[in-house]
Amino acid sequence: MSGWPNLSDLIVDKASDAPIGLVGAPLNMGSVTPGRCDLAPGLLRATLRRIGRYDVETLRELQTLVADHGDVPVAGLGIEEATPAILAACKASVERHRLTLLIGGNNAVTRPGVHALGLPLNKVGLITLDAHFDMRDLSRGLGNGNPVRALIEDGLPGRNIAQIGLAPFANSADMHRDAVEGGHLVVTIGEVRDAGIDQAIDHALDHVAHCDAIVVDCDIDVIDRSQFPGAPGARPGGMRAEDFFAAVRMLATEPKVRVMDLTEWDPPLDPTDLSALTAGRWLAEVLAGFEAR
């Protein structure tokens, strides 16, 4: 233990029977915007020593241990090549831990995270915090812009999908139409601002309540660009960081949530430590929510 209790105190060896597992998936190939998302898992770990464990709002100190399974060796691999290894590593964590944190890498890691549950897809719910539908066409293969489309092609029903934070001028009319006609719950960033993040998350959880297990995809570009400059897909007018933190904590409270990913963080885009500290706070909020189960 360090003199100042911080999140790094809670990271333990992968052999631990900790209730939460962490898997790094530094997948970088196939991104719409080339970058270095592969650096994110390592920087997240390094940042944890700067994030305290005591929540002055709730008067509670985080205690939950996180078993670190390390990074999946996917350097230089395309999405198709990397997917089996990411799926296997995530599945091994899911089988041992009540919650698995899958740290990308780009958003293509979400698909193997869903399949890692080992359940029929009609029993799996997917909630995305994302500025984008991630429903680009699959004709050119898998990419970080089409994991939701790929999962639908795999058999994930649209009625099992809730998408929160969709941004203006960041999507196409075809994607929006397909999502609505497919039965997705669609909550735009404007609707989040108007009705509040609590209502958006409540609606999302109600939408997937019929599912046996839930995956939460936290694409960091849902946050306003000024508050997370290290996300290539983020734009001005996005979700406030405080709403993002509240959403993550609420979602982690739900026992059916078995996998939560963090994707699309490209550290070199932010020469400051703002993005890193925001990502570190994400993990703190996950733990706080988990401990409230």
Cis peptide before 105 (omega within 30 of 0): yes
Does residue 211 carry a pLDDT above 80? yes
- pLDDT, position 31: 75
What domains are there in the chain, each with its CATH number?
7-291 (3.40.800.10)
Q: Checking DSSP bridges between strand 185-188 and strand 66-71, what pairing results, if any?
A: unpaired
Q: What would the pLDDT profile of 119-165 be if each residue is shown by its tens digit?
A: 999 999 999 999 999 999 999 899 888 999 999 999 999 999 999 99
Report, as an integer, the average pLDDT of 46-74. Answer: 97
Q: Which of 64, 80, 74, 61 is nearest to 23 (CA)?
A: 74
Q: Checking DSSP bridges between strand 54-55 and strand 60-61, what pairing results, if any?
A: antiparallel
Does residue 33 carry a pLDDT above 60? yes
Distance CA 183, CA 234 (A): 26
Report, as an integer, the average pLDDT of 257-280. Answer: 97
Average pLDDT along the chain: 96
